[in-house]
Amino acid sequence: MSTYKEIALVKRPDDGKIGPHLFETREKTIPSAKDGEIVIKQTHMSLDPAMLGWMSDDRESYIPPVELGDVMRSSGVGEVVESKNGDFAVGDKVMGMTGWSEYVVSNGRGFNKLRAGISEEMALCVFALPGLTATTGLYNFGKPKQGETLIVTGAAGSVGSIVGQLAKADGLRVIGVVGSDDKAEWIVNELGFDGAINYKTDDLKEKLKSLTPDRIDVFFENTGGPIQHHIVNRMNEHGRIVVCGMIADYQAEKPSPGPNWIPLIKKRITIQGFAMPDHWNEIPQLLEKLTPYVQQGKIKYRAHIIEGLDHACEGLNMLFEGKNTGKMILKL
């Protein structure tokens, strides 16, 4: 009988710090499928900033936290290695909420087979949370119009890079905010953004002004941080702000203050916070919207691969330190 590893959450990150002390690795016996079940061997696991929220005891958030003692929540792709469910065959590649575990037993609900030609990396980088989140936020709330200017923070990140490419494909001027020159180079030269701001080294106000001669119509916020204030002051009338993430503040003991609301009145601005779980039922329409862009080669992605379940915690911290270059994926 062989065994596999799973990692459970055993302590909450009350000080916002993520480390091995929060987790317990358990050795388990690889199970067999009962009637109607499948056994999945996870091959690619997604690491996402939202995980910090899922670990925290915040009953007011958009989904309940992971209970202490439970396997840590995550999405991932795996291969079906045993099936007693007519909808799945051994060898199928499936995507769903796998958790931090090498093996998963499931009745199949919530797992979808990857379509032919879609690699595991593309599935997790584009067709999973990042692409769905980008598509929902941009089209439901950003309401981009050809010729407008969009700015996206975390622009080299998994969501931001897709937001920017969708907006470019729709004929907007697109500026990205990033935290390194490598990322700036990537979004401009590889993804075709019209400009990049390195929030760590650029003069934010000046650079923003020079890159947005027609000011800003859509602000897609993934990070927070001081540039938020400058962007709000640079918005056009009837501008739309989509608040998707605030990674710069998730770990802060006291989150930094936001912009004063006077510009919201002067410019009649809309700010909309959103979270993907409200939109699960829209997934078919979202995929219908997103897929043609991918098929036309308009959505490039970059995966940052690390290997081995033992490095999950470390990989997660890389996200918060901005050390990843692309979507963080843990290969198992």
**What is the nearest approach in angstroms of a second copy to the Cβ of residue 181?**
27
Smallest gap from Cβ 198 to a second copy, in A, equals 22
- C-beta of residue 117 within 8 angstroms of C-beta of residue 134: no
Say how many residues touch a second copy, by CB under 8 A: 37
The DSSP output letter for 71 is B
Buried b (16+ CB within 10 A) or exposed e, 123-137: bbbbbbbbbbbbbbb
> Interface residues for a second copy in 114-133 (CB under 8 A)?
none
- Member of 259, 283, 318, 331 binding a second copy (CB under 8 A): 259
Query: Does position 280 bind a second copy by CB under 8 A?
Result: no
Instruction: Find the radius of gyration of the CA atoms of the chain.
Output: 20
List 273, 285, 310, 321, residue binding a second copy (CB under 8 A): 273
Range 158-177, binding a second copy (CB under 8 A): none
Site string for a second copy, 59-98 (x = CB under 8 A): -xxx------------------------------------
Tokens of 79: 């291969």
Q: Which residue, 58 or 185, has its beta carbon nearer to a second copy?
A: 58
**Given 250, 293, 301, 320, the residue binding a second copy (CB under 8 A):** 250
CA 317 centroid distance within chain: 14
Shortest separation between residue 222's beta carbon and a second copy, angstroms: 10
Closest to a second copy by CB, 224 vs 315, is: 224
Residue of 112, 180, 251, 272 interacting with a second copy (CB under 8 A): 272
Residue nearer to a second copy on the CB measure, 95 or 177: 177
Structure-token pair, residue 309:
């379940």
Binding residue for a second copy (CB under 8 A) from 30, 68, 271, 283?
271
The size of the chain, in residues, is 332
Helical packing angle, 158-169 and 283-295, nearest 10°: 70
Per the structure block, which two tokens stand in for 130? 């990042």
Pick the closer one to a second copy by CB: 273 or 308.
273
Q: Rounded to whole angstroms, how far apart are CA atoms 215 and 235?
A: 6
d(CA 169, CA 16): 37
- In the shown chain, the binding pattern of residues 213 to 242 toward a second copy, with x for contact by CB under 8 A and - for none, equals --------x--x---x--------x-----
Considering the complex, state which of residue 143 and residue 302 has its C-beta at the smaller distance from a second copy. Answer: 143
CB 117 within 8 A of CB 51: no
Give the whole-angstrom CA distance, residue 17 versus residue 323: 16
Least spacing, CB of residue 311 vs a second copy, in Å: 28
User: Residue 287: CB partners within 8 Å, gap ≥ 6?
Assistant: 127, 132
- Give Cβ neighbours of residue 200 (< 8 Å, ≥ 6 apart): 179, 180
Q: How far is the CB of 270 from a second copy (least distance, A)?
A: 5
Tokens of 26: 């358990």
Residues that bind a second copy (CB under 8 A): 53, 58, 60-62, 221, 224, 228, 237, 243-246, 249-250, 255-275, 278
